Structure 1
Amino acid sequence: MTPSAVSSSSCFKTFSTSMRTLADETVEAQHVSERSDVIIEADENFRAFIDSGEPIIVDFYADWCGPCKQLGPLLEKHTLKHNGAFKLIKVNVDNQPQIAEAFRVQDIPHVLFIMDKQLVDQFKGAIPADHVEKTLENFANVARNRAANQSGQSNEEQPPQVDADSPEYLISIAGQLMAKGELEEASKVYSQVVEKAVDKEMPDYAAKGLAGLLTISIAQYKMDAAKSIISRLNKDHGELIKTDKEIVAAISLYECYKEAGEQVVKAIHEGKTINEIQGNKERVLYLYLTGQQKEALEAGIALLKKSDTKNEGRTALVHILNCLENQEANKKLVSDTRKRMASLLF
């Protein structure tokens, strides 16, 4: 899967160039709506597609979205090409906002790959056509192998296996392990992603693998390891640190832990309560880092209102907002909090 770390401008140019080759295939696209393996508009039966456990690809799009208009025909073309290996379900986020919200879709196009009721892969934004083709091919192969195993076919009759050494495939496996909470196994796979990506000169995937390792290090409170990974990202992937939302979010979270200090990190790791935390700023950051987002913001605002704790409140809130602003769903919350801060500081 092509990482979102690829800059949108260069990615869009590559994608547009590749799409020119589809000009002579418009007739094929016109017949998409006649095929049962392409559902043009999801309806109230959407949940039934998920519950069936069958392989499906969900394309979240909007009529006004330029990249969506280019990606859609490409997805439809390769769905037809794989002839029933999976279904393509197209969800218009304007017409079906409840479905988009349920899957936390914030940016479009956003494509999910689901099998056996599990999210196995995804990509967002303008993606180069060759990567779209490769990803759908991998998914189709996995789907066919699944069907063959269920029907009891012999190994000779099964389609070729997915390239288990490809960074694209490994990154999806690591994501699945992360979702299951199997951090140690996910860490091993992310390390393989970095190794394979470096060997194959695929820097975007190397950065994606490092971002995964960074997230795991933070989750395991291994701050020295996290610091080392950030140093490597700075050295080898400096531009992506500014553009890749996942990397930016992970680094912001690391900075939040760093500001909170060893006392808070240790307290969270050992399951201690806020009453055992020393320091006003530290208590605010403890609240945020333990998932109490609104409480943390209100506690920070309360510190701002007092002259003797104003600096601590400002420092804590700045770090929290740096984490939150990387999430589309929190834009209004971040904006409102910044306005409240400004009214108290100036």
Structure 2
Amino acid sequence: MEFGQKAPGAAGPGGDVIKDTTTAGFMKDVIEASRAQPVIVDFWAPWCGPCKQLTPILEKVVRAAGGKVHLVKINIDEHPAIAQQLRVQSIPTVYAFLDGRPVDGFAGAQPESQIKAFVDRLVGDAGAADLEHAIAEGEKAFEEGDLQTAAEIFAAVLQEEPDNIKALAGLARCYLKTGDLERAEQTLELAPPDKRDAAPLASVRAALGLAKRGQESGNLGELKTKVEANPADHQARIDLATALAANGEKEEAVSHLLESFRRDRKWNDEAARKQLVELFEAWGPKDPATLDGRRRLSSLLFS
């Protein structure tokens, strides 16, 4: 199923988007159903005058939403248990459910404009939740090495929300992982100017800069030979660490930078420490190499 499409069997305008329920049917019709789309519950009774004003407006606005939200009506005279559990004190009372729990509501008759705003807000919240779920799936695919799936998910999110920072960062990371530095940079440039310094983008930008410098640092074998020949050659050691990091050899990169820092902390304006900090930013605060590197750096700083 493509992102943004209705799930198979989802209701269209009218039809199943509006129904009556009972105490026994509440779990299926509201709690379970709200995991697929928002569900509005209208608590009413036949003798209630304001209910007769509100319910037709609710039905009209829900139908106009085209299946993005459902309406479930429950007669509290015939089925009082749910209303009692939710502490409904007067009718009409309306609750909105999303992901199995109440997220919004109101009591009393409302004009159509306010009902529409209520539904729009609910649909917007559901849409945002869908995007966050998709991004989480994309990040999971990325961590598992399924770059194709991850990139497709992030791209689908961007079709729905072109300035989504997490999706832009995720897609750029996919390009970066495949070595396509140009497209990674182009993806980062799609971020709005006021969001380009956001943490997810800053992390990818740091990783991109690291990858570029890694390409410029030279051949790994040659750099290793230079360091072995002269362990005090700080520039060669830092170049080697940069190339190793760009090659995904994080632990060895950290070790070389720490060794340079241990030998001469102040060399080239603390170049080794600054390079370490940049690596940590590129890898992210939760990366095992970042956590271990920070611990080892702290030990040196306070030794």
TM-score (norm 1): 0.40
The answer to which structure, 1 or 2, has the higher relative contact order (CA under 8 A, 6+ apart) is 1
> Which structure shows the bigger proportion of residues in helix conformation?
1
